[in-house]
């Protein structure tokens, strides 16, 4: 009989533990707040001989991803972690990693991008990388961060996919908060992830290959991009297959998203990461008063589960999409995806956008209640007064 190992841990500690159990060949290390504790914790495992991993310390995040690309192309199982400006600095290399179809697993602790300088949470970093052909998973708490990290390896290395995976969680809120998490036995994790079977590794001298050649006019660049897009689409079924297998060893079931009291709801909030917990609490409060509200917490942002979202949301009268990032000159990135997904329905819910939590601004129970109040008014009147608004915004004099 297996024994549960339930511990009090930070989100960073949970991810470091998952990495220890995976025991990658290479971990590329460069510190940045609030991610540093992940690679710091793993370095202690390495120093104590608990892993066989080669920990490579580099001079920047750009170099970190460059190291990952070289090691993965050579056939190694490769992981790294970053945050915010670090993810931005490696932006160029993200395209190269995915274009070379390298199954790198990276943990990103969501943090605001400067300026002004801010080390706290929002999603501007990962949303800025949404079109780099990396699979993106989001984690509400330490448990999901741990579980997503383990699943990321299997998803990335699947021959139908061969794309890098980025696992995200909210900086400080989850990364440094103490929470309860259940860890799986080492042997079960080892058997679950298995050994990497490299596809066309550079070091196979009997079968030489070329990575990243020039592919200009008259070449096959467009076909390569179509091939990446097809792999991203195939990732949808692989993500669900991996989740089913993971449920067998953990007892925890994952999909593209979690539906909470959505079946008989009239209105709902769609959100990512830690804000789901606050929203869920308010759903419980309002349901106790007979208010028909619900929640959809998205776990998989890339590939975007459009058809599944339509089926989950089409019966609602109104939907509020919460974005912890701005697409300047437009609307929130998650909102634009959700609204476009629902557009072709003959009868569709009204969809509104709330920007919240930028730079670590607290998302409160009152914020969630305000969003639901607006939704219920839309459901009652059928009219949207404002498609785009902010939650928790301070009243300040605007200087132009």
Q: For the segment 112-122, what is each residue's pLDDT rounded down to a tens digit? A: 999 999 999 99
Q: In the chain, pLDDT over 70 holds for what percent of residues?
A: 98
45 with 51: CB under 8 angstroms? yes
**Which residue bears the tokens 């076909």?**
223
Please provide the DSSP assignment of 247-272 as one string: HHHHS----SEEEES-TT-SEEEEEE
Annotated domain spans of the chain: 5-250, 257-390
Once rounded to an integer, what is the mean pLDDT over residues 172-192?
98
In the sheet that holds 135-139, the strands lie side by side as 54-57, 26-29, 78-82, 105-110, 165-170, 135-139, 300-302
Q: What is the pLDDT of residue 400?
A: 62
pLDDT-based confidence at residue 111 (cuts at 50, 70, 90) = very high
| Per-residue CA distances from 322 to 271, 275, 306, 337 (Å) | 5, 9, 17, 12
Residue 90 per-residue DSSP state: T
| Intrachain domains 5-250 and 257-390 with the same fold | yes
What is the dotted CATH code of the domain comprising 5-250?
3.40.50.970
Once rounded to an integer, what is the mean pLDDT over residues 99-104?
98
Q: What is the pLDDT of residue 141?
A: 98
Mean of pLDDT over the chain: 97
Question: Whole-angstrom Cα distance, residue 213 to residue 55?
Answer: 29
399: pLDDT strictly greater than 80: no
Q: What is the pLDDT of residue 4?
A: 78
Q: How many CB atoms lie within 10 A of CB 243?
A: 22
pLDDT-based confidence at residue 320 (cuts at 50, 70, 90) = very high
pLDDT-based confidence at residue 398 (cuts at 50, 70, 90) = low
Once rounded to an integer, what is the mean pLDDT over residues 272-296?
98
Q: Check residue 23 and give left, alpha or beta (phi > 0: left; psi -120 to 50: alpha).
A: left
304: pLDDT strictly greater than 60: yes
Q: What is the pLDDT of residue 318?
A: 98
Once rounded to an integer, what is the mean pLDDT over residues 59-80?
98
pLDDT-based confidence at residue 2 (cuts at 50, 70, 90) = low
Question: What's the topology of domain 257-390?
Answer: Rossmann fold (3.40.50)
């Amino acid at each position: 009989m297996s024994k549960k190992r339930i511990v009090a841990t930070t989100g960073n500690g949970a991810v470091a533990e998952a990495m220890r159990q995976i025991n990658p060949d290479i971990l590329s290390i460069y510190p940045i707040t609030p991610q540093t504790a992940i690679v710091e914790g793993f370095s202690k495992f390495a120093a104590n001989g608990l892993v066989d991993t080669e920990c490579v310390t580099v001079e920047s995040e750009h170099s970190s991803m460059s190291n990952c690309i070289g090691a993965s192309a050579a056939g190694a199982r490769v992981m790294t972690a970053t945050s915010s400006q670090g993810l931005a600095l490696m932006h160029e290399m993200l395209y190269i990693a995915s274009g070379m179809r390298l199954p790198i697993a990276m943990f990103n602790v969501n943090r605001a991008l400067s300026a002004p300088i801010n080390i706290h949470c929002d999603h501007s970093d990962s949303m800025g990388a949404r079109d780099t052909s990396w699979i993106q998973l989001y984690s509400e708490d330490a448990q999901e961060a741990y579980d997503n990290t383990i699943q990321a390896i299997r998803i990335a290395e699947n021959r139908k996919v061969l794309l890098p995976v980025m696992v995200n969680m909210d900086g400080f809120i989850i990364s440094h908060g103490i929470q309860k998490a259940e860890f799986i036995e080492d042997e079960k994790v080892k058997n679950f992830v298995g050994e990497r079977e490299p596809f066309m590794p550079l070091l196979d001298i009997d079968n030489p290959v070329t990575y990243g050649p020039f592919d200009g006019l008259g070449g096959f660049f467009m076909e390569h991009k179509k091939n990446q897009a097809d792999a991203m689409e195939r990732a949808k079924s692989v993500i669900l297959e991996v989740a089913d297998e993971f449920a067998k060893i953990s007892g925890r079931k994952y999909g593209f998203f979690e539906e909470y009291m959505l079946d008989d709801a009239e209105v709902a909030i769609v959100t990512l990461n830690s804000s789901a917990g606050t929203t869920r609490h308010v759903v419980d409060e309002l349901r106790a008063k007979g208010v028909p509200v619900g929640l959809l917490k998205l776990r998989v942002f890339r590939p975007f589960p459009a058809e599944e979202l339509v089926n989950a949301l089409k019966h609602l009268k109104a939907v509020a999409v919460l974005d912890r990032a701005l697409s300047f000159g437009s609307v929130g990135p998650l909102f634009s995806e959700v609204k476009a997904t629902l557009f072709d329905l003959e009868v569709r819910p009204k969809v509104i956008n709330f920007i919240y939590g930028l730079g670590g601004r607290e998302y409160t129970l009152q914020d969630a209640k305000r969003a639901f109040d607006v939704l219920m008014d839309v459901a009652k009147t059928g009219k949207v007064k404002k498609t785009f608004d902010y939650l928790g915004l301070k009243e300040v004099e605007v200087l132009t």
